[in-house]
Amino acid sequence: VYGAVYAPKVRRTNVYLSEDEQMALDALAVAEGSTRSDVLRSIIDREMNLTGDADPALDAALADAAGEIAAQARALSESDPDLSIG
Amino acid sequence: VIIVDDHLALLAIAGRLPDLGGGTGPVATTYAFQFRLARALTTSSSSGALTARVVDPLTAVRRVLHPPANRLTVLDPRRSLDQAIAVSGRHRANLLLAELVGAAVQLDASVRVTAPNVGPRWPAVMAAEGVDFATVDA
């Protein structure tokens, strides 16, 4: 299902896996009707927070407000001996 | 690795990093800077700034707490604890600075921060520890 709804541009990469890791990947792939590569990609995406769809509006808003938010972070940390700029 | 402050970290998450003026490798920030950033995002002031830009503040907080690793990674402070403690002892650095310099020493990383986030003693501490350090306009 993962591969059907999300088809990123992929590049061939060789990785060394233990027998247990390969067996686990294959078991999950069979259970999900998927492939070892799809299962591995979904695990990496989940672990690396790459699963969220691209959100250009959120990116633009964060970039636009970054200065304001950074100033707020400084103000909140000003009297904090651990987190102040000093 | 290039370690950045909270301001640059937010720009990295947004995919809008300015030129970091040298330094190579993936962009990372420290736990302390991530904490400062996430805390700021939960305040009414920052929430208001985001709401005005038609963004759900909770979505923004989630993005900062779990940044996409291809844009920004958050360094585990335990990995550089030894170096951070040593820096703290040598320079009477607080947690923010000790973690930053300790991580830079451990990873042989560059440090890039915005000008308002440079403490008066920071350049001297960075120089004493041999850290490639510079400010960046954002």
User: Which positions in chain A touch B97 (Cβ < 8 Å)?
Assistant: 86
Judged against a pLDDT cut of 50, whether residue A1 lies above it is answered with no
pLDDT 10s digits, A61-70? 999 999 999 9
Q: Report the distance separating Cα B81 and Cα A68, nearest Å.
A: 31
Report the pLDDT value the prediction gives residue A52, as an integer from 0 to 100: 63
DSSP state of B138: -
ipTM: 0.91
Q: Report the distance separating Cα B133 and Cα A31, nearest Å.
A: 50
Smallest CA–CA separation between A54 and chain B, in Å? 10
CB B35: neighbour CB atoms within 10 A? 18
- The chain A residue lying nearest B45, using CA atoms, is A72
Q: Is A83 on the interface with B (CB under 8 A)?
A: yes
Report the pLDDT value the prediction gives residue B52, as an integer from 0 to 100: 82
Q: What are phi and psi of A39, to 5 degrees?
A: -65, -45
Q: How confident is the model at residue A3 (pLDDT cuts 50, 70, 90)?
A: very low
CB A16: neighbour CB atoms within 10 A? 5
User: Which positions in chain B touch A83 (Cβ < 8 Å)?
Assistant: 32, 35-36, 94-96
Considering only CA atoms, which of A19, A12, A76 is closest in space to residue A41?
Answer: A12
Task: Answer yes or no: are the C-beta atoms of B116 and A74 closer than 8 Å.
Answer: yes
Mean pLDDT of chain B: 94
- The chain B residue lying nearest A63, using CA atoms, is B11
Question: What percent of chain A clears pLDDT 70, i.e. is strictly above it?
Answer: 88
Task: Answer yes or no: are the C-beta atoms of B136 and B21 closer than 8 Å.
Answer: yes
Q: Is A77 on the interface with B (CB under 8 A)?
A: yes
Mean pLDDT of B11-22: 93
> From residue A27, how far is each of A1, A22, A40, A79, B101 by CA, in Å?
16, 9, 12, 54, 44
Report the pLDDT value the prediction gives residue B38, as an integer from 0 to 100: 95
